[in-house]
Amino acid sequence: MEKLFVTEPDQLSAALCDAHGEMSMASLETRLIVAATRHADMLGIGYRDLMRDRNVWVLSRMSVEVSRMPGILDTYSIATWIESYSRHISYRNFALLDGEGNPIGYARSLWTCINIDTRRPSSLHQLDAELERDCPIAPIPRLGAVGGDECLHGKVSFTYSDIDFNRHVNSARYVERIADLFDLVWHDRNRIQRLDIAYLRETHCADNVEAVYCQDGDRVDVDINGSDGVTMCRARLTIVTR
Amino acid sequence: MEKLFVTEPDQLSAALCDAHGEMSMASLETRLIVAATRHADMLGIGYRDLMRDRNVWVLSRMSVEVSRMPGILDTYSIATWIESYSRHISYRNFALLDGEGNPIGYARSLWTCINIDTRRPSSLHQLDAELERDCPIAPIPRLGAVGGDECLHGKVSFTYSDIDFNRHVNSARYVERIADLFDLVWHDRNRIQRLDIAYLRETHCADNVEAVYCQDGDRVDVDINGSDGVTMCRARLTIVTR
């Protein structure tokens, strides 16, 4: 049982790059989730293992911080390991590595095991999977509600293509919708250096969703609220000038 | 120089599946494009090679037909080869292979080489890259304009996350928007067996885009029209009951 899993080095296809010829934050999050999922398979706590008891892993929080993103034809890989594991949750960390194996980013995540019928937390067997390894970025923060007169409001909708096999909105699609609150001119000026995101409630296809967001210096705080006003997802972007 | 390129077998992560626990048509198109891009790199007509003369490949048409899609944790790979190559265009075919290497789908595509400054067709050197190999699906069709009283109209918007490194809308994002004209109930009843799509005009971030679409039996015809009424993208879905 490998406590550290490192993906095969992959060359980033031009076809998978964003407007800046780089891996987008949403796309990086997807790759982190895929690496986590593969490692969970290898540890015997993957999709097939959990589904025997009608359980699945649900991503609850993620914090990603990068010094740079892989660009067109750059080689990269992802290392992942479990920092802490209990019967209901797992704290999993990541390093984004360049072609020489040097870290160019790190991530922290919190996963919850839920039963797909009750949608309530479920129990896993104990597992000796924890690995002590450095993850030199700030812990996952507790984000406060976004609001106030200075906030902007945007309409957001989630459609069929945003839904994953759990029948709720795919985690990375929230990140795209948050990035889409800003236009290309904004993104030409600013690069997202860090993303902190908390998935607070499962979202299904939904039209009357509202983003409430404020930019204060290098920080953008965002709440994605359902039509009932309950927050589905809360995020903070830390930006730097390109 | 390998005239046939086959990607490394990959296991489809649950994290990358659609609401039906399968690879979506948009996601398959992305993988076909990535395989094509990788093969072009290997043939010396890839992104880096073309960019020396400020040229890029632009996908003009694609037809994909599958008997089934890979599901969660299924192994799959993609074979691709050039059917016909001239100085300005390339007809490239694909086979989608299951874990045993058996074809479960095929695709045909037409690519044009354009100069990124003038956005006009550009010239490539001759290349002996053509391969004669069976691609047993109907040719890329010529699709007629969609219109008439029986048509439905839907609003479509393209935002920052839909833009690729060419600074136009990513090809697969049109396929998602077309799938999104229908809700989850429709997709639970119908599976897209074949996609024919023609990219007629480059699209940038745009809000006032309209989809005009008609369903007639197992066929759905769609035009995606810009605010000036000019068609950006035209597609036909052939559907089967799940």
Whether A185 and chain B come into contact, CB under 8 Å, resolves to no
Whether B183 and chain A come into contact, CB under 8 Å, resolves to yes
pLDDT band at residue B124 under the 50/70/90 scheme: confident
| C-beta atoms of B184 and A160 within 8 A | yes
Whether A76 and chain B come into contact, CB under 8 Å, resolves to no
Q: What does the H/E/C string look like for B149-199?
A: CCCEEEEEEECHHHECCCCCECHHHHHHHHHCCCCHHHHHHEEEEEEEEEE
| C-beta atoms of B30 and A17 within 8 A | no
d(CA A127, CA A142) in angstroms, rounded, equals 28
Residue of B nearest to A173 (CA): B161
Say what the pLDDT of residue A125 is: 83
In terms of Cβ atoms closer than 10 Å to its own Cβ (0-12, 13-18, 19+), residue B109 is buried
Whether B33 and chain A come into contact, CB under 8 Å, resolves to yes
Backbone φ, ψ for residue A31 (5° rounding): -65, -35
Say what the pLDDT of residue A1 is: 73
Say what the pLDDT of residue A204 is: 80
Say what the pLDDT of residue B126 is: 85
Whether B68 and chain A come into contact, CB under 8 Å, resolves to no
Say what the pLDDT of residue B208 is: 81
pLDDT single digits (tens) B90-115: 999 999 999 999 999 999 999 999 99
| C-beta atoms of A184 and B18 within 8 A | no
Residue whose structure tokens are 């892989």: A70
| C-beta atoms of A34 and B26 within 8 A | no
Task: Check pLDDT > 90 for residue B205.
Answer: no
Which two structure tokens, joined as six digits, stand for B49?
């090679």
d(CA A85, CA A126) in angstroms, rounded, equals 8
Task: Check pLDDT > 80 for residue B206.
Answer: no
Say what the pLDDT of residue B101 is: 97
Nearest CA-CA distance, residue A184 and chain B, Å: 6
Which two structure tokens, joined as six digits, stand for A144?
């406060």
Full pLDDT tens readout for chain A, 242 residues: 799 999 999 999 999 999 999 999 999 999 999 999 999 999 999 989 999 999 999 999 999 999 999 999 999 999 999 999 998 899 999 999 999 999 999 999 999 999 989 989 888 888 899 999 999 999 999 999 998 899 999 999 899 999 999 889 999 999 999 999 999 999 999 999 999 999 999 888 776 899 999 999 999 999 999 988 899 999 999 999 99
Q: Does this complex have an ipTM over 0.85? A: yes
